[in-house]
Amino acid sequence: MKLICLLHHDTEMPAAIENWVAERNYQMTNVFLHKAGELPTFDSFDGMIIMGGPMSVYEEDKYPWLKGEKQYIKQAIDANKWVLGVCLGSQLMANALGAKVYPNEHIEIGWLPIEISKEVKGSTFKGFPDKFTTFHWHGDTYDIPDGAVHLAKSDSCLNQGFVYGKRVVAVQFHLEANAEVMKHVVASVLADKPEGKYVQNIAELEQGLVNFSQERLNTFLDNWLAN
């Protein structure tokens, strides 16, 4: 299995996804779009993972490479590649499929519960409980694209992801968020001092690491590639 990983910021890397890649003996190439990385040809990979970033999909004037990336994502989906989007990655996928992306009513930063849609319990989230706590770090949300299946919701965000066809999965939350990720989140929270009902403090962020599970992430990723 040959994978590429599209990256938009130095602090939002694949994190624990790299452990899964190594354990499965897959190959993954990182593409740093914010550093003028070139998009690979479609015959060079089987699946694509699109990670997060601090920008919004509608900031093409500030980040001109976003336009080309969205076109590339749509082409990859049309080519029947495995495509997985995380946070900004899922928002880019939604927009590439024609859905609107916009600020959510609440910012979510912290370890918060999500509820899985029954439609994906036997596939994308096979082996998962109906509800579990995972990490969130986003301010935007989106409408579910036409033809896609709603994936999950939280108390503060109705659309936490979607499944499109058999190989395309988008999630707003971060199953890959390990201790490495928390260091960046804590630094960001200390610097930006965001506030809100669903923004946790430093202690809560650090204590919430008990909710990270490599096994859970591995199961999710294996489910993604099962079709």
Asked if pLDDT for residue 148 goes beyond 90, the answer is yes
Contact present, 87 and 52 (Cβ < 8 Å): yes
Q: Tell me the catalytic residues.
A: 87, 174, 176
Average pLDDT rounded to a whole number, residues 171-188: 95
Tokens of 44: 């060079």
Asked if pLDDT for residue 190 goes beyond 90, the answer is no
pLDDT value at residue 90 = 98
pLDDT value at residue 227 = 85
Q: Which residues, including other chains, have CB under 8 Å from residue 3's CB and lie 6 or more apart?
A: 21, 26, 27, 28, 29, 45, 46, 47, 48, 49
Q: In whole numbers, what is the pLDDT of the chain averaged over residues?
A: 96
DSSP state of 11: T
Return the bridge partners of 169, or none: 84, 163
Secondary-structure breakdown of the chain: helix, strand, coil percentages, each rounded to the nearest 5: 35, 30, 40
Average pLDDT rounded to a whole number, residues 117-134: 96
Tokens of 63: 């980040």
Correct CATH for 2-224 of 2.60.40.1480, 3.40.50.300, 3.40.50.1000, 3.40.50.880: 3.40.50.880
User: If DSSP codes are grouped into helix, strand and coil, which group holds residue 86?
Assistant: strand
Average pLDDT rounded to a whole number, residues 37-48: 96
pLDDT value at residue 191 = 87
Give 57-82 pLDDT, tens digit per residue. 999 999 999 999 999 999 999 999 99
pLDDT value at residue 100 = 98
Give 1-39 pLDDT, tens digit per residue. 999 999 999 989 999 999 999 999 999 999 999 999 899
**Alpha carbon distance 121, 45 (integer Å):** 28
Average pLDDT rounded to a whole number, residues 78-97: 98
Asked if pLDDT for residue 189 goes beyond 90, the answer is no
Percent of the chain clearing pLDDT 70 (strictly above): 100
